[in-house]
Structure 1
Amino acid sequence: MAQPHYDRGSVLLHWLMAALLLAELGLGLWMTELPKNDGGTRAYWFNIHKSLGMLLGLLILLRLGWSLLRPRVVAAPQSPVMQWLAASGHRLLYAFMLLLPLSGFLGSVFSGYPIRFFGLRLPRLAERWETAKELLSCLHQLSVYALLLLLTLHLLAVVHHQFILRDGLLQRMLFRK
């Protein structure tokens, strides 16, 4: 049966992922500007970025699984076109939230460098493959800009619902007593 509000687990996952995703996007854009021969600072931040990216990858899988186990939330009343746009926007957000950590992880796998998850060295899964690394790196970078666009549209939709339609949509994704 459909519910009028999201459950606490869904709300927690949404906001935790939002905070981590924004931190990751900012860190990723910043760290690529660091000089390559800086005595390890760049490598340190790349390892942090990779660890947070893997965590986000796990969280998006958890979030997808969680959403399959929870009752659906009643859609806000809107036109069929707006319903289609909302559903398509959410599907694209999920697709890019999956693609970003996956392309980053696989790019790292083929880079030849060790992969660490918060300091824990993961087993080597493949040998260095420059072509695959470059392709995945390009996909990862393009996905960042696509996700930034989708997040901007998502935020504009929230503003539209909150201040123009005044339909209380934002309250459905906030913690309730």
Structure 2
Amino acid sequence: MPKDVPAGYSRMQIILHWAVPVLVVVQFLLGPAMTTVYEGMKTGTPQGLPVLAWLHVGIGFVVLFIACWRVGLRFARGVPAPTFEPQTPEQGFLAFVTHELTFFLYLTILAIPVLGAIGWFYQNDVAASAHASMKYLLILVVAVHVSISLFHQFVLRDGSLDRMRKLRD
């Protein structure tokens, strides 16, 4: 029997959604400190503030935990139906991009902390480099996500952005 589609996102889904970008901004601010400490570890000459590096690691685990929690809620509770049914090929493309973007956003938010943990705890330069480089992918995916959300809200005027701002249980 198919699961009922919720009318909106739950309070927890909304809180977790907005917690991730706040924590990611903090991570971007802590990134240079982490890089300095990591490079000092690799060369054997301590540099920077290790407490900031460990804060970066801790917040990374929190982001990973929240991302897993969000995926779990997504499967357990479901998500609201799309805000519109595509009527044109352009709208169909927009719906496709929106759906696939969600997958890549989750994948990126899950992969970055895992790669960072492997880089930090195993001093694996490949994982650390991939972790650092993926910030550009994250910026791109988030920029497209925000652009599509704003397009839905202000051009299509379908209220899709409101679904992640207002509780409708």
Which interval holds the TM-score relative to the shorter structure?
Answer: 0.7 to 0.9
Query: Which residue identity does 1:49 align to in structure 2?
Result: H
**Which segment drifts farther, 71-80 or 52-61?**
71-80
Counterparts of residues 1-177 of structure 1 (less than 5 Å): 1-29=4-32, 31-32=34-35, 36=40, 41-77=48-84, 78=86, 79-111=91-123, 133-176=124-167
- Over the matched positions of the two proteins, sequence identity in percent amounts to 23
> How many corresponding residue pairs?
156
Quote the offset at 1:99 in angstroms. Answer: 0.5
Give the conservation status (yes or no) of the 8 Å contact 1:5–1:172: yes
Deviation above 3 Å: which 4+ runs of structure 1? Answer: 29-41
Aligned alpha-carbon RMSD (Å):
2.3
Quote the offset at 1:156 in angstroms. Answer: 1.0
Give the conservation status (yes or no) of the 8 Å contact 2:34–2:52: yes
SS of 2:49's equivalent in the other structure is helix
Query: Which residue identity does 2:51 align to in structure 1?
Result: Y
**Which segment drifts farther, 33-42 or 165-174?**
33-42
SS of 1:32's equivalent in the other structure is helix
**Higher RCO (CA 8 Å, separation ≥ 6 residues):** 2
TM-score relative to the length of structure 2: 0.82
Give the conservation status (yes or no) of the 8 Å contact 1:104–1:136: yes
Deviations 1:106-137 (A, max 9, x none): 111212xxxxxxxxxxxxxxxxxxxxx11101
Quote the offset at 1:80 in angstroms. Answer: 2.0
Query: Which residue identity does 2:18 align to in structure 1?
Result: W
TM-score relative to the length of structure 1: 0.79
Evaluate the alpha carbon distance shift between residue 48 and residue 38 of structure 1 in structure 2; reply closer, same or farther with a 3 A threshold.
farther
**Which segment drifts farther, 161-170 or 92-101?**
161-170
